[in-house]
Structure 1
C-alpha cells in the first residue's frame, strides 16, 4: 500500500512539476509546451501535432513543441490561467471559456450566428476574426489561429424535438456565462461542469443532458448514457490556438512568424480532419443504437432573442456585419 501511494504521489508530482516550468532553452534549442484536453487521436490534438512538426521542420529542430493531451495539464479553465501566467506556452481550447476574459469573443460564439461552416470561416479568416486574434494580447494571450469544432447540439436521456422538451432539464455547459444563458433561454437549468466529469454525471443522473459536437460525443462515450442526439446545431463555436504573451515576448520576430504560419497551416489541415471525423462519428454512434433527431430549428432560434439582447447590444453593428456577409 505504501509503495502504491509513493508511486501515485511521484506521478502526481511529475505532472505538477511539468506544468510549473515555462519555455525552456537548451543552448540554442527552445522547448515549448502545448496543452489540449482531448485524446491524442482527436482532430484538435492532431492539428497541434501538425503545427509542432512544421515548426520543428522550419527551424531545423531548433524549436520543439511538446504536446500534452487528455487534460494532463488541467481543465480548460485551469490551462487558460496557466497560459496567461506563462506556465503553459501554447494552448488549444474552445473560445467559450475565453469569453470571461474578453467580452467581444461572445459575438463570434452567439447561437445561430452563422448560416453554415463556409460562412463561419469567411468571418474567422477575414478582418473580423483576425482582428480578434490580435486583440487577445490585451488579456495576456496571443491568438494564432482558429480550429473547427463543428456545430454543438444537445444530447440527452430522452428525445429533444423542441425547446418545450427541455423544460426543467439539467444540462451541462462549459464554464461560460453565454452558454448558461443559451440553455436558460430554452427553459432548461444550466450546470457548468468540467468536460472530464460529464460521463459520470449523466450516468448517475446528476444531469439530464449535455451539448457538444459529434466527435466529442463519440470520443467521450457519452452516447452510452445519453442515447438521443438532437442536431439543433445551436452553436458553431470555434476552437482557438493561442500562446502565452509571456512566452511570445521572449521569442525573436523570425520565430514568431514561423509559429504563426505553422498554426495557420495546421488550421487548414485540421478543418479537413474535422469534417472526416464528424461524418464518421455520426455513423458510429448511430450504429451503436443512438437515435439521431433533426428538429425544426426555428423554435430554438426564436428563443435566443434575449441572449442577443444581452450579449449583442454593444456589438449590434458587428453582428449585422457578420450576418449580412455573403
Structure 2
C-alpha cells in the first residue's frame, strides 16, 4: 500500500509539472475552479472548453482546470473570482441566492417542471437576461450547466411525507431560500461547506442532506446516508463564470473564442450528465441504498406556499417566475 501511495504521489506530481510546463507556453493562462472531482461532468465540460480555446487561439490562451476544491470551497472561490484572484469558477446558482435576486428565484422549490424545460429557459432570452444580473458583481456568465434534480437523503429512515421530515437536521447550501424551504417542511436547516457533509452525517451532527444523483454518489454520501427520497424539490442550474477583472484583460477576439467554446461545452456537459446520472443511480442502488419513489409530491409542493410568498414579492419577480413557468 505504501508503494502504491508513493507511486500515485509521483504520478500526480509529474502531472502537475506537465500542466505547469504547458501553461508556461501560453501567453495567457486562466485558472478555473470546481468543487467537484476530476471526471465529473462539469469538470470535463470545462476541460473540453479549455481544449477548444487553446486550439482556436493557436496556443496563446489556455485554461487550467482545478477540480476537487483545490482552490477552495465554492463560496470562497466565488469571492476570489470576483476579485480576480481566480479567473473562472463553476458554481451552483444556490451559492448566489443571497447576492443576485434572479438567482434566488431560480432556486425556488418546484419552479421547473422538468430538466428539459429548465434547458429551454436557461438557453433562451430569460437566461441571457439573468446573465446580465451578474455583471454588477464582477462576474461574466459564459455558460449554464445542469445541477440535476435535488432530493433528500438521510441516515435515519425512509421519508415519504412532509411529516417524516419533522425535526430532522439537513445540510443545505448557505442560502435563505433553502433554509426557509426546510423550515416550511418542518425540518432544521444546517448550512455548511460541502466538504464537511460526509463526516457530519457519519457523526450525527446532521441527519442528512439534499443533492442530485452524481453528487450523492461522487461525494460518498450514500455510504453514510442510506435512504434517498426522490421528491426532486430543486432543479437548480449551475453556471460557469469568468472574473470581470480577467475578462477585461482579454482582447475582443479572445473573448469571442471563450464565449463560443463555453457555449459548445454545454451539450458536452449535458450528455455526460445523463450518463453519470444513470451510472450513479445504478451504483448506489447496488450498494444497498433504499430509494423511496412513492412520495406524496403535491403535499411537498403545497408546503412551499410561504416560501413563494416571501421571495416572490416584487412585480419584476412575479413576472420572471410567471415567464419561467409558462416556458414550454
TM-score of the superposed pair, with normalisation by structure 1: 0.91
1:299 is matched with 299
CA contact (8 A) 2:26 2:62 kept: no
What SS does the corresponding residue of 2:225 show, helix, strand or coil?
coil
- What is the deviation of 1:108? 1.6
**Could you report, residue by residue, the CA deviation over 1:26-69 in whole angstroms, capped at 9, with x for unpaired residues?**
79710100000010011111111111111111111111101111
How many residues align structurally? Answer: 303
CA contact (8 A) 2:131 2:140 kept: yes
- Taking the aligned partners of 1:290 and 1:170, their CA distance within structure 2 comes to 20
For structure 1, list consecutive stretches of 5 or more residues without a partner in the other structure.
1-24
Structure 1 residue ranges (4+ consecutive) displaced by more than 4 angstroms after TM superposition: 25-28
CA contact (8 A) 2:26 2:59 kept: no
Where do residues 223-302 of structure 1 align in structure 2 (5 Å cutoff)?
Answer: 223-294=222-293, 295-302=295-302
1:86 is matched with 84
- Taking the aligned partners of 1:229 and 1:263, their CA distance within structure 2 comes to 33
**Could you report, residue by residue, the CA deviation over 1:76-113 in whole angstroms, capped at 9, with x for unpaired residues?**
01001100000000100101111222112111221101
1:16 is matched with none
For structure 2, list consecutive stretches of 5 or more residues without a partner in the other structure.
1-22
CA contact (8 A) 1:133 1:145 kept: no
CA contact (8 A) 1:155 1:211 kept: yes
2:153 is matched with 155
- Taking the aligned partners of 1:257 and 1:181, their CA distance within structure 2 comes to 40
- Taking the aligned partners of 2:38 and 2:25, their CA distance within structure 1 comes to 30
- Taking the aligned partners of 2:275 and 2:302, their CA distance within structure 1 comes to 31
- What is the deviation of 1:180? 1.1
RMSD: 1.4
What SS does the corresponding residue of 1:310 show, helix, strand or coil?
helix
**Could you report, residue by residue, the CA deviation over 1:99-143 in whole angstroms, capped at 9, with x for unpaired residues?**
222112111221101111111011101111111112211111001
TM-score of the superposed pair, with normalisation by structure 2: 0.90
